[in-house]
Structure 1
Amino acid sequence: ATVSLVCASLSLFVYATFCPCAPDAPSVPTCFLPFNATWARPHPRRKPNSQHEAETGRTSSIAEDQHMRLNTRGQCLAMERHQRHAALDQSETAKVVSFIDLAGHERYLRTTVYGLTAHEPDYVMVVVGANHGITRMTKEHVGMAIALHVPLFVVVTKVDLCPEPVMKETMKSLTRLLKLPGARKQPYVVRTLDELMVAVRSFGRTAITPVFTISSVDGTNVPLLRQFFNLMPSRRAWVNQKDMPAEFLIDQHFNVPGVGLVVAGTLISGVVALNHVLLMGPDNQGKFNPVTVRSIHHMRAAVHALLPGQTGAFVVRSRTKDHVRSFGIRKGMVLLEPSMNPVATKSFTCDVLVLHSQTTMRVNYQPIVYARNVRQCVRIAAMDKEILRTGVRARVTLEFMYRPEFLQPGTKVLFTEGKTKAIGTIRELLE
């Protein structure tokens, strides 16, 4: 399951699953994605990914190295960043909650959007500093989560240092934001166990949006939030995906000296084991190349297989004379079962709803499209309306500007260009 953790003001995606060390244990991912993060400040459990993160305190990359282990009673067993499986009693681990920290600053909005679409979280956690209130980026993140139909909840943190009048104003602003016509959410402040049970039963099924007011300094309501993580179910039946063909979304890649190319991402369906033969692509020409999985790591530990819904990293080797680096590895590629006979797509038809636009969109307009782990500039080749403005729905034919990608009908897509934002669903793959 995917869940998110409270740690000052942060943005993260959480993934919880039954004990991943047991091969027969079912994987039940549940995801939460929190926004508005300053979690990049030097912290004993979060190492800045770059020098400017340490200097500015702004998260600028997607961090996926935080995990919370829970037992059957919901008690936290470990929250260590580098702790390996061998250091824990695996017999007690019933659920693992993983966090993905996203960027909250507007300069890194593209990174945040990519993390939200590529990791396909079950839930989103929006973290708001009580003393800072609702910012423009808070509104952006809430809008994106609602547009992508991902259930969200809110954590108001730093209540220990916030004066009461400022706290009241923050809560009033949050209530107004969630009740806007485009959101139509009902804020529900959780302060007791009874209110927690009401929130758990209603969350994701009704308009109720749980709101937690917590302090990481004195621990106010932190146990309630941890119980919320433990009780939230997965929105996906990952166990049913085990018999499907393997599909792995690549969102990171790097070279390790002496090891070779490593690709990291999320396994959407199927089971990938050692020496598994998969097709990696598409490359710039739309071709898929056969590779062999030589090593698998999940949560910083070597494993024999990766289960559906889990994030992991593979060491891959080419099965042809060409070196794997010659395949032009990049974000947006996938690893697929050869039996799927995958075909790369250059253009596709999409049903689009324009959420906000300060200009009119016509044929040849060029926004950035986000579809799962794909991020690329597209061109409007045709549409059934003469122009597109805020609130207009249309069927649009889009064409990738640079290279073909692997897409599937029914995938949710997000379009951005400056302050222009639109949401859509892929209906047909044309070529």
Structure 2
Amino acid sequence: MSADRAPLRRALERGEEEGGPIEFKTRLTRDTHLADGRMESLAAQLRHRVLSGDGEATYVVGVDDDGAIAGISPDAFSESMDVLSLLADEADAHIEDVETWGIDGGDGEGLVGVATLREGAMLDREDDEHVVVGTAGHVDHGKSTLVGTLVTGERDDGEGGTRSFLDVQPHEVERGLSADLSYAVYGFDDDGPVRMDNPHRKSDRARVVQEAERLVSFVDTVGHEPWLRTTIRGLVGQKLDYGLLAVAADDGPTKTTREHLGILLATELPTMVAITKTDAVSDERVEDVEDEVEAMLREVGETPLPVERHGIDAAIEEIGTVVPILRTSAVAGDGLDDLDTLFEALPKRESDADAPFRMYVDRSYNVTGVGAVASGTINAGSVEAGDELLLGPMADGSFRDVEVRSIEMHYHRVDQASAGRIVGIALKGVEESEIERGMALLPRDADPEPVREFEAEVVVLNHPTKIGDGYEPVVHLETVSEAAIFSPEGGRLLPGDNGNTTVRFKFRPYLVEEGQRFVFREGRSKGVGTVRSIDT
């Protein structure tokens, strides 16, 4: 047995014993193990196992009672985890982590897995206690480092060490640049911040989600110019409550800073500015950069509120009508207490929690033993394990029937999630290769219409000449990033113009609704728009 199977080996060697925290199960089924009487008995057994292990139990699934490895199919394993989750909930416990291994056998692919269960019910938090913040800013302006320091409480080493808590690709860590969206979380309880000890450990993120009475999730975007489309996806495609724009004290506002600010404001997102790296420059330089930031905000019609002069309470009360400016240092710790105070107090923006469920897919991946997972931020409504949904539109405009196998939030398995939550939803009825970014998940009875063309009101923020018929930018709407063809009313739009245009997706339809905001970009040309009417 290889080294990576150490948890399985330890559980098998210790064995299943009366009064112990380890339980062997070949498989669990809804029909058999959730039947009347049986469910109560198995939940009591699980509760006993958890108490015997001082709040932690281990369930080994895919092995016989004597510990012999049997292996079960991926579908059977997924069903077993669903049943185990329900039993744990009944026993006031939850699944914290699952590890699986493939087993070679004559009957084809098989799985065996080790599930770690912890005492305490699954996450049950009101939506108004979960705030989602999108970060933006020029490359190397310290936004990822600042977030890494916030969620861990660790001071940075001056080399961006805490940034590694967010970067997810090996080449990002090597180069010190983020090339995709990253996610982080911390929270608050009656005693103050609840932070992660080791953000690389799934169980530590799950602990924060479980323990905190109020959560703050960060969608950390990309500062490097070649990946501006990824930044737009992070700010437009997520259901954010607030924006956090980083400006380095040793550099000041740049062209990219202004572009990111424009996107934040175009999506009508209440925004704050963090002047980072204040430890690296003189006090006079910090004041000069703050003056530059104030001027930048006034240029676009926003009212700056320097926290240094007006205090954090004023920022909390007035954000949305003003843009708070905070001086921060991830190395010296300047401004971090103010950010904690701000994030603990900021109200959740109004959500569509009572509307029908809707989520645009941002990522998809395959998990052994679970199958296809669609990840994104829930735009409206709520979703539960077992819900029957529609996924699409596919390239031909059709929608696929799917079923929710399970839901995870920050590696914490939950039974239900509502608007504003960043989740991974395991889906039955579709292969991972068939799921594409920009698709949407909807209730089975939604009767959606695929949209190839719509009418929009747009504002041209920047363009070297004019926009005419046949102009082809990339449109970023929710998580959709697709080439489109513009046909402006009157035949052209000039820089600074506010006008109407027909927008037609070049390759395939998407789910588009009136009132949605979008960003378009092509080379140096950039603009924002609002969907006014739909042509299906």
> For this structure pair, what is the TM-score category when the shorter chain's length is used for normalisation?
0.7 to 0.9
Report the TM-score when normalising by structure 1. 0.86
Question: Match of 1:30?
Answer: 131
Structure 1 distance, partners of 2:161, 2:208, is 26
Q: How far does residue 165 in structure 1 lie from its aligned partner after superposition?
A: 3.6
Structure 2 distance, partners of 1:350, 1:28, is 35
Q: Indicate conservation of the 8 Å contact 1:20/1:27, yes or no.
A: no
Q: How far does residue 342 in structure 1 lie from its aligned partner after superposition?
A: 0.7
Report Cα offsets for 1:9-38 as digits up to 9, x if no partner.
xxxxxxxxxx99444734444332221254
Structure 1 distance, partners of 2:303, 2:529, is 25
Structure 2 distance, partners of 1:88, 1:388, is 49
Q: Indicate conservation of the 8 Å contact 2:238/2:479, yes or no.
A: yes
Q: Indicate conservation of the 8 Å contact 1:261/1:325, yes or no.
A: yes
1:256/1:223 CA distance change after superposition, 3 Å: same
Q: Does residue 301 of the first structure (1) align with residue 408 of the second (2)? A: no
Within 5 A, what are the aligned runs for 1:70-149?
70-72=188-190, 75-80=192-197, 81=199, 82-84=202-204, 87=207, 90=210, 93-149=212-268
Structure 1 distance, partners of 2:168, 2:208, is 26
Question: Match of 2:381?
Answer: 270
Q: Which amino acid aligns with 2:193?
A: C
Q: Indicate conservation of the 8 Å contact 2:206/2:411, yes or no.
A: no
Question: Match of 1:196?
Answer: 312
Question: Match of 2:467?
Answer: 361
Deviation larger for 304-313 or 166-175:
166-175
Report Cα offsets for 1:300-348 as digits up to 9, x if no partner.
1111111221111111111xxxx5357x311001110022101110111
Q: 1:324 aligns with which of 431, 439, 461?
A: 431
Q: 2:167 aligns with which of 44, 48, 70?
A: 48
Within 5 A, what are the aligned runs for 1:10-409?
21-23=122-124, 25-36=126-137, 38=140, 39=144, 42-43=161-162, 46=165, 48-64=167-183, 66-72=184-190, 75-80=192-197, 81=199, 82-84=202-204, 87=207, 90=210, 93-180=212-299, 183-191=300-308, 195-204=311-320, 206=321, 208-236=322-350, 238=351, 241-318=352-429, 324-325=431-432, 328-380=434-486, 382-409=487-514
1:158/1:85 CA distance change after superposition, 3 Å: closer
Q: How far does residue 168 in structure 1 lie from its aligned partner after superposition?
A: 3.0
Structure 2 distance, partners of 1:426, 1:420, is 19
Structure 1 distance, partners of 2:266, 2:381, is 28
Q: Indicate conservation of the 8 Å contact 1:191/1:221, yes or no.
A: no
Over the residues paired in the alignment, what is the CA RMSD in angstroms? 2.3
Structure 1 distance, partners of 2:449, 2:135, is 34
Q: Which amino acid aligns with 2:495?
A: T
Q: Which amino acid aligns with 1:225?
A: L
Structure 2 distance, partners of 1:186, 1:248, is 33
Question: Match of 2:519?
Answer: 414
**SS of 1:179's equivalent?**
helix
**SS of 1:160's equivalent?**
helix
Structure 1 distance, partners of 2:121, 2:173, is 32
Report Cα offsets for 1:127-146 as digits up to 9, x if no partner.
11111222221111112112
Structure 2 distance, partners of 1:325, 1:284, is 15
The count of corresponding residues between Structure 1 and Structure 2 is 396
Q: How far does residue 217 in structure 1 lie from its aligned partner after superposition?
A: 1.9
Report Cα offsets for 1:44-84 as digits up to 9, x if no partner.
861532233122211110001x11110146x1022352345
Report the TM-score when normalising by structure 2. 0.70
Report Cα offsets for 1:109-158 as digits up to 9, x if no partner.
11001111100322111111111222221111112112222121111111
**SS of 2:472's equivalent?**
coil
Structure 2 distance, partners of 1:44, 1:365, is 39
**SS of 1:423's equivalent?**
strand
**SS of 1:175's equivalent?**
helix
Report Cα offsets for 1:272-299 as digits up to 9, x if no partner.
1111110011110010010011111111
Looking at both structures, which has the greater relative contact order when contacts are Cα pairs under 8 Å and sequence separation is at least 6? 1
Q: Which amino acid aligns with 1:35?
A: A
- Name the structure with the higher helix share: 2
Q: How far does residue 411 in structure 1 lie from its aligned partner after superposition?
A: 0.3
Deviation larger for 51-60 or 346-355:
51-60
Q: Percent identity of the aligned residues?
A: 27
Q: How far does residue 177 in structure 1 lie from its aligned partner after superposition?
A: 1.0
Structure 1 distance, partners of 2:521, 2:186, is 34
Deviation larger for 371-380 or 157-166:
157-166
Report Cα offsets for 1:151-203 as digits up to 9, x if no partner.
211111111121234323322221221111xx1222222137x7211121111
Structure 2 distance, partners of 1:243, 1:20, is 24
5+ residue gaps, structure 2, are 1-119, 146-159
Structure 2 distance, partners of 1:42, 1:362, is 47
Q: Indicate conservation of the 8 Å contact 2:245/2:272, yes or no.
A: yes
5+ residue gaps, structure 1, are 1-18
Q: Indicate conservation of the 8 Å contact 2:365/2:432, yes or no.
A: no
